[in-house]
Amino acid sequence: MALTMRMLNGKSSVVAGAALPASRRAVIARVGKTMSGKEVPPSPEASAGDEVYEYLKSCPGVSAPFENVFDPAGLARTSNLRDIKRWRESEITHGRVSMLAALGFIVGEQLQDFPLFFNFDGRVQGPAIYHFQQIGQGFWEPLLIAIGVAESYRVAVGWATPTGTGFNALKDEYEPGYLGFDPLNLLPEDPSARKELQTKEINNGRLAMIAIAAFVAQELVEQTEIFEHLFLRFEKEAILELDDIERDIGLPITPLPEELKNL
């Protein structure tokens, strides 16, 4: 009798599960079990998403204050591993270019009056966003050749041959960002030390991307050089502090120069 009741209960559970709406059955399937208690294998989409997140967790660049994968827009959930690796390559490359650009902004603006700098006729001056327009012939040709050689080497090392199903993809064995270029032999052999150094590079690259965007925006708006902008801010704050002291002790207020009023 007990065996008959268990069989009837099992049958009724299956029938009840089949009678559920499709949306309910889908929710149950995603949880991992049917109404009858049978295990349901994960969907291919869920497996692909888990694979992407496990890959991202293993990559350099995961650091405080975000100890897990920082993906507020959920881009990794809708992408495959091939796209994630390509985006990773793009992030590292843009970070390296941004570090060079941020350094170039500061150095270029400070050395534009130095005789040994590429400014023999004194044409290059003012904010760095206008330096390229002021440079004459003899600079662009070597620059374009250098960029072409560097990009050709990067493509040869990391990018797969374009095919109908594998267009715009990296090689399976290629580690994004690792081009084998280490003339100073700075990359450690120890895996943990190597990952730590790569994390520092990526984090500095991320900061540099934000910094160079801020440099460009600031110079477009205020038409002043980076350090000039900084020192003018300091000067304005010092005068305002002095005004407060003068106001407290009853002395005449130091007027704010015209060029500082709009800062």
Instruction: Using CA atoms of 4, 6, 10, 11 in order, give the dihedral in degrees to the nearest 10.
Output: 20
Whether residue 218 is annotated as binding a ligand: the answer is yes
200 is in an annotated binding site: yes
The answer to whether 229 is a known ligand-binding residue is no
Instruction: Report in angstroms the alpha-carbon separations of 73 from 76, 81, 88, 241, 248.
Output: 8, 17, 16, 43, 51
Confirm whether residue 241 is marked as ligand binding: no
Phi/psi at 199 (5° precision): -65, -40
* 205: nearest Cα among 88, 92, 56: 92
Task: Find out whether 206 is annotated in a ligand binding site.
Answer: yes
174, HSE (Cβ side, Cα atoms, 13 Å): 22
User: What's the rounded Cα separation, in Å, for the pair 68 and 62?
Assistant: 6
Residue 224: CB atoms within 10 Å: 18
Residue written as tokens 């991202």? 56
Which residues contact residue 169 at a Cβ distance below 8 angstroms, ignoring those fewer than 6 apart?
82, 86, 159, 160
Is 134 assigned to a binding site?
A: no
Alpha-carbon distance 135 to 118, whole Å? 8
d(CA 43, CA 50): 11
Cα separation, 241 vs 26, whole angstroms: 66
Joined tokens for residue 171: 């090689």
Is residue 96 part of an annotated ligand binding site? yes
Please enumerate, by residue number, every residue annotated as part of a binding site for chlorophyll b: 53, 96
Please enumerate, by residue number, every residue annotated as part of a binding site: 53, 91, 94, 96, 200-201, 204, 206, 218
Please enumerate, by residue number, every residue annotated as part of a binding site for chlorophyll a: 91, 94, 200-201, 204, 206, 218
